[in-house]
Structure 1
Amino acid sequence: MTLPAAPRRGVVLTEAMRLAWLRLIRSENVGPATFRDLINRYGTAAAALDALPELAARGGRRIVVCTEAAAAEELARAEKLGARFVCLGEPDYPQHLRSVEYAPPVLAVMGDAACFERPALAIVGARNASLSGIKLTRMFAAGVGEAGYVVVSGLARGIDAAAHDAALHTGTIGVFAGGLDRPYPQENRPLMRRIVDTGGALVSEMPFGWTARAIDFPRRNRLVAGLALGLLVVEAALRSGSLISARLAGELGRLVFAVPGSPLDPRAAGANRLIRDGAILACDASDILEALSPLAGRDTAPEDGALDEPAPDGGQDEPSRSERERIVECLGPTPVAIDEIIAHTGASAGAVQLVILELDLAGRLERHPGGMVSLLL
């Protein structure tokens, strides 16, 4: 069975624009949220790059802006590896990620982007999986694959590797925690090659040359959840990355499924807890397909489908010194909504956004789900 793919739409950036986007996201303290704010304010990545040094200085420090040479070198490394960069709003950008708050503006992709347009299920679980867990994973992955779904996972040992392997000939997407040229674990290199060779894809938002650290895996897990309509946990301990993936999937509005296991096996404790807390119990692939089928034909992309370098929003309000002080005074270690800062200070939205940008670029601000921000003390 083949489910209909969503229509590909969007704009294709020029090479100069793509280089500017890559420079901007690779600059110090520029994450997806800051990237979007900068584009909304300055209209283009090139204009935002010109503004970065002054913005960061007003926030209290100097930052390193990615040079044109460094970005060009990364583009060349990607081409040499057979990969490419896809920007938010381009036709090859994964359709399900477009609806995610603060989606990665730039993704490194290797393989066939056509699999991004099909409905997908993420499958995650324990690295030290049991033989039963591996068997169940293969059964679920094969079952949803035969129904036309792509399987997404994080290329780890155990459940992840079993899910990818079982879905090789129906479509699978592997998500890296580091750069595409820094695969982890090394033992899964042959599997990664087979994913590309059989029409699947490998993706990462991290720079080439970046070796994954422990703090990078939750970021990878958010991509795994965001690329799919739902997420299945097969085996997971109570303190595991799989439960982080499940939480992130729930925050993104994805359906969360879990396979029940023996109370005597600690590898089943996390999945059992998820079911107790409201996850959908999954005993076979039909349980998942029944829940996902109403979503499979729905276009999840926003109407405009893109962050395609709009004109500046006109909010170029320059706050006075007293306004700037009031805005900073509103911030502390407890997250607050930007709208609350605007209401409390009486400053314009543009002025508040500008101060938030300055603090963010200076490394003094932390962003939270729902557009909340806090000050790093």
Structure 2
Amino acid sequence: MKFQLTEEQQSVKNMVRQFGQEMLAPKAEEVDQNNEFPMESVKEMAKYGLMGIAYPEKYGGGGASSISEAIAFEEITYSCAATGSIITAHYLGFDAIYLAGNEEQKQKFLRPALEGDYLAAFCLTEPNAGTDVGALKTTAKLDGDEYVLNGVKHFITNGAYADVMTVLAKTDKDAGTKGMSMFIVDKNAPGLKIGSGDDKMGIRGARTHEVIFEDCRIPKENLLGKEGDGFRIAMQVIDRGRIGIASMGVGLSQAAFDASVEYTKEREAFNRPIAKFQGLQWMIAEISTDVEMARLATYRAAFTKDIQKNISKEAAMAKLFAAEASNRVVHKAVQLHGGYGYMKEYPVERFYRDQRILEIFEGTSQVQKMVIAGHALK
């Protein structure tokens, strides 16, 4: 077992760090303040081949390892957490097509997503169905050669900007989760509407919107797998997506740690840098450890993704630890900055707000504990 990056992985890290610092970081504050979706950043990520890193080259992906993908998410988030959320949501959006799509669906929808011509979104959450996926109300009924979708999806990242969406809906209201199916919906589908946008606490540039289906008609060929496969597909997508959120936690933690080290070396009190005070050194030691342990858990989950199908436990562990570690890191980063950490001109103020969502989306920390305990108690 080697605890070092391969040449490919180090190259990805260096390339995305440079890209992020040149293209994303200078815009991060403006994106946050203006609640602005950074479409130009998305286009730049496509140019750099970041829209499908670990997916097969035969479909337009990069063919790299899942660890390289995690590193890329980490480095994008290091420079701009909102953009990190946009790219991870894009992967969620097309992953169902990769996992369950037939060859025609993959060529028509997956390829342009991996090549960066399409932006994708994943439509699962509803106003009254988040953790409790079984409570979703969106329906899909077969009418001749088309399915007709009706319902409202909520908090959908990329929803207003996506070219293609994967949507979970009920095809049999009486069958519970076994009556759910997954569909591909093109942005131009008749009956598809974009509702109100959200004014969020953090990752503000990763705009979320309601996505409304009012007698939305799609070809029956846009069904992924078979009717009734939707819940299984969605859970697999979410498991895999949790590694992306863990990667975001690592990237955000690293950014907060680096800012804190720099600040404590420069800031003086009592005629010496505050980094010389043991009490603050302990805080630096604690957050340094949290960053490294979160990275190890995340890379292990990514490694596991490449060698086995069921990664539920590893992904949940990585997501739980990295998300909660990032909470500890940003909290201490603000504390190390003192009053300046509370001011918007210092990036740790934004990091503090951006971090909070990591313990909520793709399953709350409590859900991750349920998943982990379920595996432990089998």
TM class by smaller structure = under 0.3
TM-score by length of 2: 0.23
The one of the two structures with greater contact order (alpha-carbon pairs below 8 A, sep at least 6) is 1
Higher helix share: 2
TM-score by length of 1: 0.23
